[in-house]
Amino acid sequence: MSSAIIINGNEIGQEIRKSVADRVMKLKDQGVTPGLAVILVGDNPASQTYVRNKQKSCEAIGIFSELIKLPQEVSEEELLNQIRSLNNSENIHGILVQLPLPSHINEDKVIATISPEKDVDGFSPISVGKMMLGQETYLPCTPFGVMKLLEHAGIDIAGKHAVIVGRSHIVGKPMGQLLLQKDATVTYTHSKTPELPSITKQADIIVAAVGRPNFITKEHVKSGAVVIDVGINRDENNKLIGDVHFAEVEQVASHITPVPGGVGPMTITMLLFNTVQSAEKSLSQDK
């Protein structure tokens, strides 16, 4: 049995982070320290872990990171005011509101309040619209990270059939758009798609973003396909597992991303990338 080439997100992420760190140094020489504000509402343990990772990654390359912790019961208006104040803060170049938010808060309203100039998550309606039109904007970090993984692994995209499994606003939908911009033929599938394996079997590239552990098995995958696993699920032992049944699928795929160590580290890498981009822009606008 042949086994797939493993696309190493830790390694590729590290390489990109090095070049982002160089840009941070250049900015500091010019008197600007890139700053990222992360707003965390409530005390969801998973969210706390992610946020801690983001902060550590910022510090490692010299980005200033400010954590704003708000209680679970915080009012929507208070949260919006916090964002408005960060929109006006000179030393903050990126704002990230950790999702999900408590159910009494309107997520759409919160995201739309983040200034598009500081929307380093790429979630605001302005950013999404610009991305759809192929205009310059902050790209959402996870799909952006997947594009970088494909590029670094030397995967050709033009003319390939990419099948996206999952249609979330933050992964599935933008993922298809970015692949389309690189001339892939894109098929979107989701929980209401009948006969899913018959469609994913036609894919040259599969992006799994369904949020169901081990959902994509060898029955879904054509021999030689590239399989990207965006899933981050926890098993009964609290171990991180993807949406792809790795042991099975690596026997048929040509390339595969592991979980952990695949897409996850790239998401944070592109967040750092976008934050530095924003700081560079602020500098050129001052002149």
Binding site for ligand GUE (CB under 6 A): 49-50, 53, 96-99, 121, 141, 232, 240, 259-261, 264-265, 267-268
Name which of 196 and 228 has its Cβ closer to ligand GUE.
228
Q: Is 277 a catalytic residue?
A: no
Residue indicated by tokens 């070049």 = 19
Name which of 97 and 272 has its Cβ closer to ligand GUE.
97
Among residues 82, 118, 119, 121, which one is catalytic?
Answer: 121
Residue of this chain nearest to ligand GUE (CB atom):
264
Q: Is 54 a catalytic residue?
A: yes
Q: How far is the CB of 50 from ligand GUE (least distance, A)?
A: 5
- Bridge partners (DSSP) of residue 161 are 185
Name which of 24 and 38 has its Cβ closer to ligand GUE.
38
Q: How far is the CB of 271 from ligand GUE (least distance, A)?
A: 6
Residue 232 among known ligand-binding residues = yes
Name which of 97 and 209 has its Cβ closer to ligand GUE.
97
Residue 167 among known ligand-binding residues = yes
Name which of 267 and 275 has its Cβ closer to ligand GUE.
267
Residue 166 among known ligand-binding residues = yes
Q: How far is the CB of 106 from ligand GUE (least distance, A)?
A: 15
Q: How far is the CB of 194 from ligand GUE (least distance, A)?
A: 29
Residue 13 among known ligand-binding residues = no
Q: Is 287 a catalytic residue?
A: no
User: Distances from the Cα of 236 to the Cαs of 100, 115, 226, 240, 241, in angstroms?
Assistant: 22, 40, 28, 10, 10
Q: How far is the CB of 33 from ligand GUE (least distance, A)?
A: 22
For the annotated binding site for NADP(+), the residues are: 166-168, 232
Query: Catalytic amino acids?
Result: 54, 98, 121
